[in-house]
């Protein structure tokens, strides 16, 4: 039951959406919510305004100020257009790229965005149809644009859509532009301020003229073309899970020389209803069931998936028991970084100025490999805009090898500034071929690097709490973990606590508090224990959940002990989850 004051507030907001400024369908949806005795939809749709954050918008589609619709999308675009016209006022012609994924309403929202930009005198390069998020980033750089927007909710359930804003380097916006854009968006107080009527003369349709060069540039990343040629018939299962990857990723794999791509026809259908899965998130085993089944059927060397906007990658390989299983996001990062560092060394390409980037919640095993290989590593906040910032700062100072985060996103190139499955998937195929050339499977490769660099196992747990009450509960959980910090985790004393909201770290043995040097604050808390365990806690910035990242470490002496070590790690992580109250 909602209190009377809240109901009065949401009712008043909703009634403003009944004016002639809104289309007939929207007015009908709002009136239905007002008439319904159950006020849940009314409250959820109007209790707040869908916030344009540092990454843009993401929310459930529908009528209301807290929903994704042409009016919230329009307000965001008008604010961004106003800021672009201010920031680049001396430029003769400001230009932007607009793209979208396969979700329901994505084309409508993309055309709405294109019309608003053009109505504000900004030239628009609009993709002819669904394209990967990383290709939007690529196009911004290739076409010399000042900004870009991609309509996507990535791997969220089908009821969601989203709006990603990019700057002139192809990266998602950061300070000071993020705050400035937010201020301009918040300054839009009425839909009458939004210029919906577009100027067709300023809208140019793009497609293959960007696709072709994008695929060719991706192919230049190959470090083992001869190996790919020798193992051209590698059995590769690939699924786009109904997303935009269907259009371009098989082309990218084939360009690398692989010609045995095995499809899952049911999931090749591009559809915003994602008919074969409950949620199109390749991190979830349920979304990968058909890929695992197909891998078993054909006895594949590996199975790969991309999420609906083709920026994340999922991987399935055969384990030591001969069973196909998902590789977690941290392991994907480990194998990418390992290959790029070791293969560059094998080829004599390391000059001493190379670097890699990972996020603070991603496996510390990557740091161990980098130290042993003599490669500089940067730690940054979660979100590829922070990896892109490191790349921006390092331009002309060092050679980027790769960067990624545990949430299944990796970027092996510099001509894109966001995670990229279109390049990562053929690169993973190359790694599998490289291992096969050495008489190894990908699983053997994992075991080998754990023996050489130290064993680790990681698990991510998301606690979902939707709606206003859920947001309040998540906020309180973070308060509790800060005010009542863990003293020990699974019997091992906590020796260091990092609080990225305060930008402080506390040595629990000495009590010494020192500053953390980061470009901004972030609501992340980390515990490090004496036995090498790392626990990170953060609310999601895009979904109604709080995330826990648990990482345990040990040594591995020989291959025969790998399964036993995995069992030990799983049991340890289970105990940690129970102690944190998230089992």
**Are 449 and 473 members of one domain?**
no
**Are 198 and 90 members of one domain?**
yes
Measured distance CA(405)–CA(360) in Å, rounded: 9
**Are 490 and 462 members of one domain?**
yes
**Are 330 and 470 members of one domain?**
no
Encode pLDDT of 118-160 as tens digits.
999 999 999 999 999 999 999 999 999 999 999 999 999 999 9
Q: What is the mean pLDDT of the chain?
A: 95
* Average of per-residue pLDDT across 467-494: 90
Range(s) of the domain holding residue 418: 232-453
Residue 81 has what pLDDT? 98
DSSP labels for 161-214?
Answer: EEEEEEETTSSBP-TTHHHHHHHHHHT--SGGGS--S--GGGEEEESHHHHHHH
Judge whether 424 lies within some domain. Answer: yes
Tokens linked to 225: 């073309």
Judged by average pLDDT, the poorest of 183-197, 257-271, 466-480 is 466-480
**Are 70 and 103 members of one domain?**
yes
**Are 430 and 514 members of one domain?**
no
Measured distance CA(66)–CA(58) in Å, rounded: 10
**Are 499 and 447 members of one domain?**
no
Judge whether 31 lies within some domain. Answer: no
Burial of residue 465 (CB within 10 Å: 0-12, 13-18, 19+) is middle
* Average of per-residue pLDDT across 208-221: 98
Looking at the predicted structure, is the pLDDT value of residue 54 above 80? no
Q: Which of 159, 179, 212 is the last residue of a domain?
A: 212
Q: Which of 389, 418, 453 is the last residue of a domain?
A: 453
* Average of per-residue pLDDT across 510-537: 96
Q: What is the CATH number of the domain that holds 156?
A: 3.40.120.10
Judge whether 23 lies within some domain. Answer: no
Task: Please report which confidence band the pLDDT of residue 544 belongs to, taking 50, 70 and 90 as the band edges.
Answer: confident
Residue 469 has what pLDDT? 78
Measured distance CA(130)–CA(151) in Å, rounded: 10
What residues act catalytically? 154
CA dihedral 460, 474, 504, 579 (to 10 degrees): -50
Judge whether 225 lies within some domain. Answer: no
Domain count, the chain: 3
Task: Please report which confidence band the pLDDT of residue 3 belongs to, taking 50, 70 and 90 as the band edges.
Answer: confident
**Are 368 and 433 members of one domain?**
yes
380 membership: H or E segment, kind and range: strand 376-380
Q: Are 531 and 492 in contact (CB under 8 A)?
A: yes
**Are 190 and 253 members of one domain?**
no
Encode pLDDT of 309-366 as tens digits.
999 999 999 999 999 999 999 999 999 999 999 999 999 999 999 999 999 999 999 9
**Are 394 and 514 members of one domain?**
no
**Are 436 and 469 members of one domain?**
no
Encode pLDDT of 498-512 as tens digits.
999 999 999 999 999
Q: What is the CATH number of the domain that holds 561?
A: 3.30.310
Looking at the predicted structure, is the pLDDT value of residue 542 above 70? no
Q: Which of 408, 432, 453 is the last residue of a domain?
A: 453
CA dihedral 307, 310, 312, 316 (to 10 degrees): 60
Residue 468 has what pLDDT? 72
**Are 449 and 461 members of one domain?**
no
């Amino acid at each position: 039951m909602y209190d009377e004051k809240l109901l009065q507030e949401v009712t008043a907001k909703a009634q403003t959406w009944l004016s002639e400024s809104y289309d007939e369908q929207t007015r009908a949806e709002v009136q239905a919510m007002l008439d319904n005795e159950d006020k849940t939809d009314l409250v959820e749709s109007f209790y707040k305004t869908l916030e344009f954050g540092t990454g843009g918008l993401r929310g459930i589609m529908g009528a209301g100020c807290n929903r994704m619709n042409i009016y919230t999308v329009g307000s965001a675009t008008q604010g961004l257009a106003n800021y672009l016209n201010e920031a680049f006022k001396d430029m003769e012609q400001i230009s932007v790229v607009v793209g979208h994924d396969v979700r329901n309403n994505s084309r409508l929202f993309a055309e709405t965005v294109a019309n608003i930009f053009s109505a504000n005198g900004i030239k628009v390069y609009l993709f002819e149809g669904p394209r990967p998020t990383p290709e939007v980033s690529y196009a911004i750089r290739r076409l010399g644009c000042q900004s870009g927007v991609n309509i996507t909710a990535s791997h969220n359930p089908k009821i969601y859509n989203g709006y990603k804003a990019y700057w002139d380097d192809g990266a998602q916006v950061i300070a000071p532009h993020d705050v400035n854009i937010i201020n301009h968006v918040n300054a839009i107080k009425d839909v009458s301020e939004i210029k919906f009527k577009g100027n067709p003369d300023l809208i140019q349709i793009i497609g293959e003229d960007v696709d072709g060069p994008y695929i060719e540039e991706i192919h230049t990343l190959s470090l083992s073309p001869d190996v790919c040629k020798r193992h051209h018939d590698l059995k590769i299962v690939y699924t786009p899970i109904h997303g935009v990857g269907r259009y371009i990723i098989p082309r990218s794999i084939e360009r690398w020389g692989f010609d045995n791509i095995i499809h899952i026809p049911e999931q090749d259908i591009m559809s915003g209803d994602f008919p074969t899965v409950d949620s199109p998130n390749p991190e979830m085993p349920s979304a990968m069931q058909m890929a695992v089944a197909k891998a078993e059927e054909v006895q594949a060397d590996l199975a790969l998936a991309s999420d609906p906007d083709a920026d994340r990658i999922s991987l399935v390989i055969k384990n030591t028991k001969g069973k196909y299983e998902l590789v977690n996001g941290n392991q994907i990062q480990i194998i990418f970084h390992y290959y790029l560092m070791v293969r560059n060394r094998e080829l004599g390409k390391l000059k001493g100025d190379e670097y890699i980037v990972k996020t603070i919640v991603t496996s510390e095993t990557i740091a161990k490999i980098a130290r042993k290989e003599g490669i500089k590593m940067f730690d940054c906040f979660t979100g590829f805009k922070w990896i892109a910032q490191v790349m921006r700062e390092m331009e002309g100072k060092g050679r980027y090898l790769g960067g990624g985060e545990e949430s299944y996103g990796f970027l092996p190139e510099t001509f894109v500034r966001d995670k990229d499955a279109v390049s990562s998937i053929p690169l993973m195929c190359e790694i599998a071929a490289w291992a096969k050339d050495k008489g190894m499977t990908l699983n053997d490769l994992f075991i080998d690097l754990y023996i050489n660099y130290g064993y680790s196992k990681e698990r991510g747990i998301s606690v979902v709490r939707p709606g206003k009450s859920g947001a309040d509960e998540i906020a309180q959980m973070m308060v509790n973990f800060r005010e009542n910090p863990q003293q020990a985790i699974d019997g091992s004393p906590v020796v260091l606590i990092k609080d990225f909201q305060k930008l402080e770290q506390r040595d629990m043995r000495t009590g010494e508090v020192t500053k953390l040097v980061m470009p901004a604050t972030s609501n992340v808390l980390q515990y490090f224990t004496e036995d090498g365990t790392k626990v990170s806690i953060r609310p999601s910035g895009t979904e109604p959940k709080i995330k826990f990242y648990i990482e345990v470490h040990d040594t591995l002496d020989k291959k025969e002990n790998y399964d036993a070590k995995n069992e030990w790690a799983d049991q340890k992580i289970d105990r940690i989850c129970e102690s944190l109250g998230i089992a």
